Amino acid sequence: MRYLANRAWPVILIGVLGVAAAILYPKWRDASNRGGQTYAEPFRIAGNFYYVGASDTAAFLLTGPQGHVLIDGGLPGTPPLIMQSIAELGFKIGDVKVLLNSHAHFDHAGGLAELQKASGAQLWISDGDADIVAAGNGNASDPFLGPLRFLTYLTILKYPAPRIDHRFKDGATIRLGPIALTAHITPGHTPGCTSWSFPVRDGDRELLVVHACSLDPPTGLSFGSSVGADLGVGRYAEIRAGLERSFRVLRSLPADIWVTSHARQFGRYRKFLERTEAKNPVDPFVDRAGYLAYIDNAEAEYRELIGSR
């Protein structure tokens, strides 16, 4: 009997662990897909421009009589939050006709497929990021992962691949009725990182909004990849040229209101609170000084990084 008991306990342990894994894995997977993101109250920024993203991974809605434009899809687990926010503002996900994206990474393109399915919208992706998004593998855009390259093959770091309906180049204008957004390819963070500019109206004034794509170097480069030892070699030179062009392009845009794909970067919560006390709730978002400081800080960090190579 003791022999049988000794033989049985590994089987029992494996069974217990299997049951625990079956219960916990879906919860872990859901948490991973949401990346710690939580609900954030949606609100009007200015005119027909609204915040509909999560606590940090941002998403924005531009509304119009011929349908709406949604910028960025968040993580694979955040589309329900985005759709909830759109509904709370009194709009319908089925009226979203155009989906746009800032860049191909997991936390901004991961939810595009679900949002596309729910809305039936046409998805526009830049030439530089289109193949990455179509593969559902935002990690593949980082040429500097080095020994961490195996991460690009892990299923848990991939996202559902959306259908790409249109590809565009730098300077393209995407139109939907009176809505018109201009694409500015600002590469470096990803090959096709796209900043968007478009006008919105606040009473009798027209304000230019710039949705600035990330200015951070590729993640692997920040981990000290030796690929960057010679600043003029191969892909490193391409990334460097792309980022330096991006700093110039963004500075040249006469932004009144600026946002990014991460809410903390443009001060979403602070400005959201300030709007409740402001005479005009749009005014806290009119922040060209903050926009230029964002570019300056990103460039300073970049130059410190390459200076250490």
pLDDT digits (tens, 9 = 90+) for 2-29: 544 555 555 454 554 544 444 443 433 4
Looking at residue 95, what is its pLDDT? 98
Nearest Cα to Cα of residue 73 among 52, 88, 42: 52
What gap in Å lies between CA 66 and CA 178, rounded to an integer?
Answer: 8
Pick 170 or 10 by higher pLDDT.
Answer: 170
pLDDT band at 155 (very low <50, low <70, confident <90, very high): low
Cβ-count burial 257-294 (b if 16+ within 10 Å, e if not): bbbbbbbebbbbeebbeebeeeeebbebbbbeebbeeb
Provide the terminal-to-terminal Cα distance of the chain, rounded to the nearest Å: 67
Residues 217-251 have pLDDT tens digits of: 875 554 444 444 444 445 678 888 999 999 999 99
Residue 205 has pLDDT above 50, yes or no: yes
Looking at residue 53, what is its pLDDT? 97
Spatial strand order in the sheet of 166-168: 43-46, 49-51, 60-62, 68-71, 96-100, 122-126, 166-168
Rounded mean pLDDT of the chain? 85
Looking at residue 219, what is its pLDDT? 57
Domains parsed from the chain with CATH numbers: 43-307 (3.60.15.10)
Q: At CA 87, angle to CA 55 and CA 284, rounded to 5?
A: 50
Q: At which residue do the structure tokens 């926009």 appear?
A: 291
Percent of the chain with pLDDT over 70: 76
Residue 75 has pLDDT above 70, yes or no: yes
Looking at residue 140, what is its pLDDT? 59
Pick 197 or 309 by higher pLDDT.
Answer: 197
Looking at residue 20, what is its pLDDT? 41
Cβ within 8 Å of residue 12, ≥6 positions away: none
Residue 150 has pLDDT above 80, yes or no: no
pLDDT band at 258 (very low <50, low <70, confident <90, very high): very high
Q: What is the largest CA-CA distance in the chain?
A: 88
CA dihedral 76, 144, 295, 100 (to 10 degrees): -30
Looking at residue 176, what is its pLDDT? 98
237 to 132, 219, 226, 244, 307: CA distances (angstroms):
21, 16, 13, 11, 14
Strand 179-185 relative to strand 194-202, pairing: antiparallel
Looking at residue 6, what is its pLDDT? 52
Looking at residue 221, what is its pLDDT? 53
pLDDT band at 120 (very low <50, low <70, confident <90, very high): very high
Tell me which amino acid residue 135 is: A
pLDDT band at 36 (very low <50, low <70, confident <90, very high): confident
What gap in Å lies between CA 107 and CA 65, rounded to an integer?
Answer: 30
> Worst-scoring range by mean pLDDT, 12-16, 255-259, 304-308?
12-16
What gap in Å lies between CA 42 and CA 278, rounded to an integer?
Answer: 18
What the block records as the tokens of 191 is: 């090959």
CA dihedral 30, 34, 37, 38 (to 10 degrees): -50
Asked if 255 and 179 touch (Cβ cutoff 8 Å), the reply is no
What gap in Å lies between CA 270 and CA 73, rounded to an integer?
Answer: 23
